[in-house]
Amino acid sequence: MPLNLTLKPNEKLIVNGAVVSNNSPRAVTLTFHNKAQLLQQKDVLLPEEATTPLLRTYFALQCVYLDADGAEEHRRHFAEFAAELFAATTNAAIRGAIATALVHVEAGEFYRALSALRSALPAERRLLGVEPS
């Protein structure tokens, strides 16, 4: 079943490591007929934004997903960060997100793993007293 994604004007999408931009003044719909690594601009974390334990874990996993050449090294970083964070917190939302992400990673479902980690960001912000950006 094809996947349709709509890009707003000036919005970007990463497709198999390549950045696709909508430079049109109108929204455009892209249709994907086969499996691809996709990450919308709103879900992309830049290296300098990985400033908390959960964001570092997310960034390492994002690199596993998008950087096939360095995937094994990124996977080691992800596993280390996830284990350290899991051990350091008793927060149920964060621990649950990490556990869910690990299950998805083992199944090769990296986008779902990223989504699981994103779901715990509000809990981490509350714990750290950080305002959402």
Q: Which pLDDT score is estimated for 17? A: 85
Identify the bridge partners of residue 46 per DSSP, sorted by sequence position.
Answer: none
Nearest to 64 by CA among 110, 5, 3: 110
Q: pTM of this prediction?
A: 0.88
Q: What average pLDDT does this structure show over 117-126?
A: 96
Six-digit token pair at 123? 């809990």
Task: Provide the CB-side half-sphere exposure for 80 (13 A, CA).
Answer: 9
pLDDT at 38 over 60: yes
